Structure 1
Amino acid sequence: MKVDLLFAEIGSTTTVLTAFHFGFGKPKILAQTEHWTTVNEGDVTIGIENALRKMREILGESVTWEKFAATSSAAGGLKMTVHGLVYDMTVRAAKEAALGAGAVIKYVTAGKMDEFHLKKIQSIQPKLILLAGGVDYGETETVIHNAKLLAKLELDVPIIYAGNVAAAEQVEYILVNAGKKVYVTENVYPRIDYLNVEPTRNIIKEVFAEHIVKAPGMEKIKEMVNYDIIPTPAAVMKTTELIYEHYGDCLTIDIGGATTDVDSVTDGTPEIQEIMTSPEPLAKRTVEGDLGLYVNAHNVIDMMGPENLKREFPDFDELVTRISPYPQSERDELFISKLATFCVQQGVRRHAGSKKHLYTPTGRKTIAEGKDLTAVKYIFGTGGFLSRSKYAKEVLESLRPLSKLHPMELLPPENVKLIRDKYYIFAAIGLIASEIDRQLAYELLKEDLVEY
């Protein structure tokens, strides 16, 4: 059988393979299989081959394809550091650009760097450095100082410059003459209260495509695919943006083995916007690197409190040894659902902004900071657990009371609608929307969504 698109989502723990048929604009899934991601075996293509073998068993014949595509987070994401001028301005804008592109930020500095910062960057061994700073035609001294320091860094990693346009030529000259690979793009914060993150995001995605082949076996996949391998988180963000076009203000939660990612596309409510102290991007992504169901399950258990879990699960010690993407029993799945509930709630609360009271000579004043989720109408759940577990609905519903429990946080309202990515294809939809056909992606989306 020849399928129109064979799509591989290569995750940190599992590799999911999906075969699509696109006949006359009515796409459908022909088969979906999965296998452990085989990074530890030294070749991620082993996992794909094993998943493909299962697919051939389901379809009962050999499987060929017109196009092959893949997204990946198997190389652990794109580890990077971010350096700007003022934390609440250019540094925050740079972080938004980096997270939206699927990067994992390991270190952030604001203001003039020194030798200590260089040693810290050296120890982190990032795959990419983002240098920003200053509004256009504003202060240039700090970013030029930081460029001179980064020029001394004994790391062969690309540096993106997304700062004050007035310093761009000099920064590029300093870094290029030091032998660094430099990408110069538009300022992420060109003027006060204006974020310009998309150009930087696009370059980070390009660098990701180059970096991702460093996962064992990815070189072979790069030769197989018909499109660039893009970060899975970036593909999920593309799907969330597609949802926003058709549904309005929305939020997507993706719980994985290593991280919990939250994507939102919303401007918030006018009432909150009036008291907001600084701008937020329309589309925002946060990555919680300590909230995962398998790789980081022990971190989650520590945050929840083992003693609390032991009161609910007398067989706690045994359950912990069996944590897996593939629960062996209903008891195992119930235990994982408790961890998932914590991940979902913490992920959304960390993503959301908050209100604060200030006391001034004229009385109390309320301000708001961070992402306003109070206008969100829909929450979408994706990832292995939220797409497939019978406890997914219960976990998502735990978000409803949060806005009342934490009234100072800018959380989604209690009446928000909860929807599931039932086929576990949000990454595929995002790639199809951005690389193949947006309408086709929307048709697929309509077939995929299930409202609770």
Structure 2
Amino acid sequence: MNILTADIGSTYTKLTAIDTVEKKILATSTAFTTIGTDVVEGFMSAYNKLEQRVGEFRYDELLCCSSAAGGLKMVSLGLVPELTAKAAKLAAASAGAKVVKTYAFELSQAEQNEIFEINPDLVLLCGGTDGGNKEVILANARRLCRVERPFTVIAAGNKSASFELEEIFRASGKPFVITENVMPEFNKLNIEPARQKIKELFISRIIKAKGLSRIQKMCETDIIPTPLAVLNACELLSKGTKNVSGLGDLLAVDIGGATTDVYSICSGKPTLENVTLKGLPEPVSKRTVEGDLGMRYSLPSLVGELDMDTLSEELSIDKSIAIDWVTACTQNPDLLAEPGSPEQEIEELIARNAVKIAMERHAGTYQPVYTPFGQVFTLTGKDLSAVPFVIGIGGVIINARQPRYILEGAKLQPDDFMFAKPKDPDYLIDKRYIFASMGLLSSAYPDLALTLLKQEITKQ
């Protein structure tokens, strides 16, 4: 049986041909994603390249995921930043949405106007434990109904407010879905129901918004968000199956054209003495998405985080060369650097910094606390210091002369000791860009998907 998987990304469409009988990957291919016209054009271009490598290829089943144009933009609202607002963001990010803004407490008029300008695809509305405060979530619902944009609201807050929320949204005509509270009890997360609703709305919205309806007709199963497929593969590689062992704790960094995503599969409990956890417990499987750290569509915002003078000095090149390259990539997202050129060096240093910044946002942070018994530390978020593997995903890593150099941006450095980043990890590369593909395959063939993952990822 032949299976074809398709990952339709912001910049590239990646195909993987799999023979389930011989238990091997026959070939992979990529082509530029044709968002501006019809994504089927990019799909067929990649398919033609695939057949040039393996000859005529007929597949029995097509599995597809997509993050075209960066996926779906989402805004999340909660009651307090450290609790339900964070829970909302965790649910949204793990489902593959691109969380562009998180709000806490009651929305102001200025924030209402900001949501109008953001024009999100989805809004995740949370707030209050079950039986607790419901005034804020109701007030925010009324505010959202005044935002004249066609987004859908997923309400996942205090269940005591469900009836009033339904009345508010129905009266306004605003599309909505009500699901279980993301935090029904204090410090207790329940993000799976909200994540499932986001996934369902992703399927219905992105198919229409990004022109994927023709691809969907070619598939027997639903198109899912690419980040969700990658998360599935990370979980599979970490935890293993009944028949095939996994690697244990791991991190993965996926540098794309629009975002840099970080995945961690580990408990993240403190590894140091005199450290106590602060804030919400972190999920074992966590994804963060940084929409300002992409290598093409959000390259200007990524470069804005960097010191171009320092970057130029580090590479011993003229600053104007770096600026010209950034400008060219912004105007032509399909542009690739020539191997061995100064532009490739610029790409790799920018990518290393994207990894560094994304990891600092994903990892837990330490803060000193002074007590009568001396200095101790609090940890907010996950302790990733003992994670043994960092896996690199994405075109800039695959095509790099020094992929390890890029991934070393994830490692703890002497000057960033406040971050609970990996201390001494091994670096692995998804050389043929199959993580999303194996995440898709894992739903029906988990043993095969895990076996192929372990065969394909290479140590640096």
C-alpha separation in 2, matches of 1:349 and 1:119: 30
Three-state SS of the structure 2 residue aligned to 1:137 is: coil
Three-state SS of the structure 2 residue aligned to 1:291 is: coil
Report what 1:49 is aligned to.
44
Q: Shift of the alpha carbon at 1:381?
A: 0.9
Three-state SS of the structure 2 residue aligned to 1:341 is: helix
2:285 aligned to which of 283, 286, 295: 283
Q: Shift of the alpha carbon at 1:16?
A: 1.2
C-alpha separation in 1, matches of 2:360 and 2:136: 34
C-alpha separation in 2, matches of 1:398 and 1:110: 31
8 Å Cα contact 2:123-2:153 kept in structure 1: yes
Question: Where do 1:233-312 residues align within 5 Å?
Answer: 233-245=227-239, 246-271=246-271, 275-278=276-279, 279-311=281-313, 312=316
C-alpha separation in 2, matches of 1:156 and 1:224: 28
8 Å Cα contact 2:270-2:276 kept in structure 1: no
Report what 2:402 is aligned to.
391
CA displacement 1:206-240 (0-9 Å, x = unmatched) = 11111111345311111111221111111111111
Q: Aligned letter for 1:326?
A: L
C-alpha separation in 2, matches of 1:303 and 1:83: 26
Q: Aligned letter for 2:277?
A: M
Confirm or deny that 1:117 pairs with 2:111: yes
Three-state SS of the structure 2 residue aligned to 1:33 is: strand
Report what 2:24 is aligned to.
28
- Closer, same or farther in 2 for the Cα pair 1:337/1:179, shift >3 Å? same
8 Å Cα contact 1:254-1:381 kept in structure 2: yes
Q: Shift of the alpha carbon at 1:295?
A: 2.5
1:359 aligned to which of 370, 378, 388: 370
CA displacement 1:178-199 (0-9 Å, x = unmatched) = 2232222221111122111121
2:382 aligned to which of 361, 368, 371: 371
1:185 aligned to which of 175, 179, 202: 179
C-alpha separation in 1, matches of 2:391 and 2:125: 34
Confirm or deny that 1:71 pairs with 2:65: yes
8 Å Cα contact 1:75-1:212 kept in structure 2: no
2:433 aligned to which of 418, 424, 438: 424
Report what 2:55 is aligned to.
60
- Closer, same or farther in 2 for the Cα pair 1:175/1:215, shift >3 Å? closer
C-alpha separation in 1, matches of 2:150 and 2:410: 44
8 Å Cα contact 1:275-1:366 kept in structure 2: yes
2:193 aligned to which of 199, 204, 218: 199
Q: Shift of the alpha carbon at 1:304?
A: 2.7
Question: Where do 1:145-160 residues align within 5 Å?
Answer: 145-160=139-154
Report what 1:135 is aligned to.
129
8 Å Cα contact 1:5-1:19 kept in structure 2: yes
Q: Aligned letter for 1:299?
A: S
1:225 aligned to which of 219, 225, 229: 219
Q: Which runs of 4+ in 1 moved over 4 A?
A: 270-274, 317-325, 360-363
8 Å Cα contact 1:82-1:108 kept in structure 2: yes
Confirm or deny that 1:5 pairs with 2:6: no
Q: Shift of the alpha carbon at 1:290?
A: 1.8
How many residues align? The count is: 443
Unaligned regions of 5+ residues in structure 2, if any?
Answer: 240-245
1:451 aligned to which of 436, 456, 459: 459
C-alpha separation in 1, matches of 2:350 and 2:142: 46
Q: Shift of the alpha carbon at 1:297?
A: 3.1
Confirm or deny that 1:338 pairs with 2:349: yes
- Closer, same or farther in 2 for the Cα pair 1:204/1:21, shift >3 Å? same
- Closer, same or farther in 2 for the Cα pair 1:272/1:68, shift >3 Å? same
8 Å Cα contact 2:100-2:291 kept in structure 1: no
Three-state SS of the structure 2 residue aligned to 1:6 is: strand
Q: Aligned letter for 2:60?
A: E
Three-state SS of the structure 2 residue aligned to 1:129 is: strand
C-alpha separation in 2, matches of 1:316 and 1:378: 31
Q: Aligned letter for 2:232?
A: K
Q: Shift of the alpha carbon at 1:309?
A: 3.2
CA displacement 1:406-438 (0-9 Å, x = unmatched) = 222111122x121111221100111111x3222
Unaligned regions of 5+ residues in structure 1, if any?
Answer: none
Q: Aligned letter for 2:294?
A: G
Q: Shift of the alpha carbon at 1:361?
A: 5.7
Moved more, 90-99 or 352-361: 352-361
Q: Percent identity?
A: 37
Report what 1:88 is aligned to.
82
Q: Aligned letter for 1:421?
A: D
8 Å Cα contact 2:270-2:383 kept in structure 1: no
8 Å Cα contact 1:158-1:182 kept in structure 2: yes
- Closer, same or farther in 2 for the Cα pair 1:345/1:216, shift >3 Å? closer
Q: Shift of the alpha carbon at 1:403?
A: 4.6
Q: Shift of the alpha carbon at 1:351?
A: 0.9
CA displacement 1:113-164 (0-9 Å, x = unmatched) = 2433322222211111111111111122221222233233323322111111
Report what 1:328 is aligned to.
338
C-alpha separation in 1, matches of 2:335 and 2:285: 29
CA RMSD of aligned residues (A): 2.1
CA displacement 1:75-123 (0-9 Å, x = unmatched) = 3311111111111100000000001111112222211224333222222
C-alpha separation in 1, matches of 2:417 and 2:311: 27
- Closer, same or farther in 2 for the Cα pair 1:189/1:15, shift >3 Å? same
CA displacement 1:264-314 (0-9 Å, x = unmatched) = 111123446960112222221111222122233343334332223333223
8 Å Cα contact 1:7-1:17 kept in structure 2: yes
CA displacement 1:5-58 (0-9 Å, x = unmatched) = 1111111111112111110xx521112111111112x11111111111222222
TM-score between both structures, scaled by the size of structure 2: 0.90
